[in-house]
Amino acid sequence: MNGETEVPISQSVSITFNERLITNTLVYTMTPKPGAWRVVWNPDHSKVLLRPWKNLLYELSYKVVLNVQNVNVLLLFPGPVPNPWSFITSRPSIVQDYLTCNTYLI
């Protein structure tokens, strides 16, 4: 997702790790702050899904930073995957009603 553009405003963030993690050590920040997120782990604690409670804002650059410990109580360390990473949300869709000449953002 790093550097991705046109990310839907309702998009969840899926993060896959190469080992099992201690789920209650996950710390993440997103700027600008979009509000609350629902955190869902897979059964073996190697993948987490962050779901926003409300949609993100249109055409905005978001930066995500996270940290978590593995089962050996080691923190994340720099590797091939960027941390932090960023993405830009999509533009609003515009629908034009040609019969009434009205334009709507959806």
Query: CATH no. for residue 52?
Result: 2.60.40.1220
Confidence of residue 74 (pLDDT cuts 50, 70, 90): confident
Instruction: Say whether pLDDT at 45 is over 90.
Output: yes
Split at pLDDT 50, 70, 90, the class of 81 is confident
Q: Which range of residues forms the domain containing residue 27?
A: 4-105
Q: How many domains does the chain have?
A: 1
> When comparing pLDDT for 78 and 20, which is higher?
20
Q: Which residue has the higher pLDDT, 1 or 15?
A: 15
Q: Are 30 and 64 in contact (CB under 8 A)?
A: yes
Task: Note the pLDDT tens digit of each residue in 50-69.
Answer: 998 999 999 999 999 999 99
Look at residue 23 in the predicted model and tell me its pLDDT.
Answer: 95
